[in-house]
Amino acid sequence: MFKKTIAVTVLTAFMLLLVAACGGGAKEEATPKPAATKAPATTAETMMPAAGAVEVLLADKNNVYIFKPDTFTFKVGQKVSLVLKSEGQFHTFTANDLTTTEGKKVDAQVLAGATANLEFTPSKAGTYKLTCLPHEALGMVGTIKVE
């Protein structure tokens, strides 16, 4: 567990440094083209969203870091399709205690200013903490309830 925490911290620090090095000034945001490859169900991917997908804004303007919406309710066994849109910084959509029917954790990364899709199927009822790992201390948290 400790090694995993250190690895996540190091990766997050690296990504923040990379974003800071590439950032600066106003820039025009571009929408990435859909990728043709299929990744594991709990990995964010850039491709066409599933019909009925819920859009989630990963907001970071004016030093306000929030998920919009920040509360979600799903059913056990329900396939969830989310479109994650980052305003301008690197974010994660992480619910470490929420396990999918594939036995994976819900943990997606969204690059600065990018859009990514996340699909998963929750396997167990409960209330789970949602966080953006780099911005949790700044209040970027939410709740996922699985009934």
Q: If we measure between CA atoms, which residue out of 112, 111, 120 comes closest to residue 54?
A: 120
Hey, how many other C-beta atoms are within 10 angstroms of the C-beta on 91?
30
Q: Rounded to the nearest 5 degrees, what angle is found at the Cα of 135, between the Cα atoms of 15 and 137? A: 135
pLDDT score for 141: 98
DSSP string over 65-107: -EEES-EEEE-TT--EEEEEEESSS-EEEEEEEEEBTTS-EEE
* Span 54-94, pLDDT tens digits: 999 999 999 999 999 999 999 999 999 999 999 999 999 99
pLDDT score for 51: 58
* Span 90-116, pLDDT tens digits: 999 999 999 898 999 999 999 999 999
Is 117:44 a contact under the CB 8 Å cutoff?
A: yes
The full set of domains in the chain, from first to last, is 49-147 (2.60.40.420)
Q: Look up the pTM and report it.
A: 0.67
List Cβ neighbours of 26 (8 Å cut-off, separation of 6 or more).
none
Hey, how many other C-beta atoms are within 10 angstroms of the C-beta on 51?
6
